[in-house]
Amino acid sequence: MLDKARLRIAMQKSGRLSDDSRALLARCGIKINLNQQRLIAYAENMPIDILRVRDDDIPGLVMDGVVDLGIIGENVLEEELLKRRSQGENPNYLTLRRLDFGGCRLSLATPVDFDYQGVECLNNTRIATSYPNLLKRYLDQKGIKFKSCLLNGSVEVAPRAGLADSICDLVSTGATLEANGLKEVEVIYRSKACLIQRDGDMETDKQALIDRLLTRIQGVIQARESKYIMLHAPSDCLEDVIALLPGAERPTILPLAGDQNRVAMHMVSSETLFWETMEKLKALGASSILVLPIEKMME
Ligand code: ATP
Ligand code: MG
């Protein structure tokens, strides 16, 4: 039984978003045992229940207020939004945060031997896709008429199977397209995973928990994007060293025992340090350069 007092979060059960979603919640300190093949998992240390479903169901569960939060790809969310609007509904939800995983693009792709000269080449052709609403919005804006062939999987085989002239599908590396004799010709939507909240009143305790969770997510993502940098540098070229580290906050400068001419510098940088920059730092006289990952951050 679902307990209404507990925060309900929907996430993908198994697929491209599930590992990252699970890891994000774990990093936020939520202890969940997801080993069983169960639909609902209960957090041991917080009043949180995790609903594990197919990703396609997540936007609707949030829009219908069945769950409080959902972790979902923007592509699936936007498609559901457009679908519901086309059916005359006015779905509502809040986007709390874009997340740092699940990056992909929804693209048009044609067979490699298709002489593609621009999107108008697709006028009056048949396009296979799992995203008919996103595709329609894009092609309507360009004034292109098309026939869609709705497929919920294996979209990339449609041209070879004679089901469609081209496809509109998700791409991350392009390897699947290439393996199926297709080329990407137009990006129509760029997507990442995001965290959404249902619209409407939220109990005070639940909202406070959501706010805490959001601060932790912010800390996890910021930490992943940041590095802790330590190095020794000659005291007379500190400004030059700092200039090479644009993403770094004001560094902490510490004396080095027994060395009057050099200091230790510690700083958090919002960017990683590339080998090229490390080589430049070394050329300035810096040494003992360490770049460390950060586990958690709170500002
Ligand atoms: P489900 O069984 O939950 O319906 P699915 O097969 O529809 O799963 P997945 O392939 O697991 O979905 O993809 C889930 C989401 O991951 C996509 O909607 C998209 O937001 C994101 N994603 C990131 N990279 C890719 C990619 N290369 N191909 C497809 N989806 C990707
Ligand atoms: Mg799906």
Ligand nearest to the CA of residue 53, numbered in listed order: 1
Q: How far is the CA of 13 from the centre of ligand 2 (A)?
A: 10
248 confidence band (pLDDT: 50, 70, 90): confident
Average pLDDT over residues 167-171: 97
Residue with CA nearest ligand 1 atom 16: 16
Q: Mean pLDDT in the chain?
A: 95
CATH 3.40.190.10 fits 104-191, yes or no: yes
- pLDDT of the residue at 272: 79
Residue nearest (by alpha carbon) to ligand 1 atom 6: 15
* C-alpha Rg value of the chain to the nearest Å: 25
Whether the CB of 190 sits within 6 Å of ligand 1: no
Q: Where in the chain is the domain with CATH 3.30.70.120?
A: 226-293
ipTM above threshold 0.90: yes
Q: Is 80 in the pocket of ligand 1 (CB under 6 A)?
A: no
pLDDT in tens, 87-99: 999 999 999 999 9
Given 3.30.70.120, 3.40.50.720, 3.40.50.1100, 3.40.50.1820, which CATH number is that of 226-293?
3.30.70.120
Q: Judge whether residue 160 has pLDDT over 80.
A: yes
CB of 19 within 6 A of ligand 1: the answer is no
State percent of the chain over pLDDT 90.
89
Q: Where in the chain is CATH 3.40.190.10?
A: 7-101+193-223, 104-191
3-class SS string, the chain: CCCCCCEEEEEECCCCCHHHHHHHHHHCCCCECCCCCCCEEEECCCCEEEEEECHHHHHHHHHCCCCCEEEEEHHHHHHHHHHHHHCCCCCCEEEEEECCCCCEEEEEEEECCCCCCCHHHHCCEEEEECCHHHHHHHHHHCCCCEEEEECCCCHHHCCCCCCCCEEEEEECCCHHHHHCCEEEEEEEEEECEEEEEECCCCCHHHHHHHHHHHHHHHHHHHHHHCEEEEEEEEHHHHHHHHHCCCCECCCEEEEECCEEEEEEEEEEECCCCCHHHHHHHHHCCCEEEEEEECCCCCC
Which of 13, 17, 178, 195 is the pocket-test mutation for ligand 1 (most atoms within 8 Å of CB)? 17
Please give the pLDDT value at position 107: 98
Ligand nearest to the backbone CA of 14? 1
Q: How does residue 246 score in pLDDT terms, banded at 50, 70 and 90?
A: confident
The pLDDT tens digits for 93-151 are 999 999 999 999 999 999 999 999 999 999 999 999 999 999 999 999 999 999 999 99
Query: Is 1's pLDDT higher than 70?
Result: no
Mean per-residue pLDDT, 52-72 = 97
Distance 223 CA to ligand 1 centre (A): 25
- Closest residue to atom 8 of ligand 1, CA basis: 15
Angle at 169 between CA 129 and CA 19, to 5 degrees: 120
User: What is the predicted pLDDT for the residue at 36?
Assistant: 67
Ligand closest to Cα of 169 equals 1
Give residue 199's pLDDT.
97
Query: Looking at residues 257-267, what average pLDDT do you find?
Result: 95
Average pLDDT over residues 28-36: 85
What superfamily in CATH does domain 7-101+193-223 come from?
Periplasmic binding protein-like II (3.40.190.10)
Distance CA 100, CA 287 (A): 33
Q: Whose CA is nearest to atom 7 of ligand 1?
A: 55
Q: Is 104 in the pocket of ligand 1 (CB under 6 A)?
A: yes
Nearest alpha carbon to residue 87 among 133, 56, 126: 133
pLDDT at res. 64: 98
| Any atom of ligand 1 within 6 Å of the Cβ of 184 | no
Q: What is the pLDDT of residues 173-214, one digit of tens each?
A: 999 999 999 999 999 999 999 999 999 999 999 999 999 999
Burial class (CB in 10 A: 0-12, 13-18, 19+), 181: middle
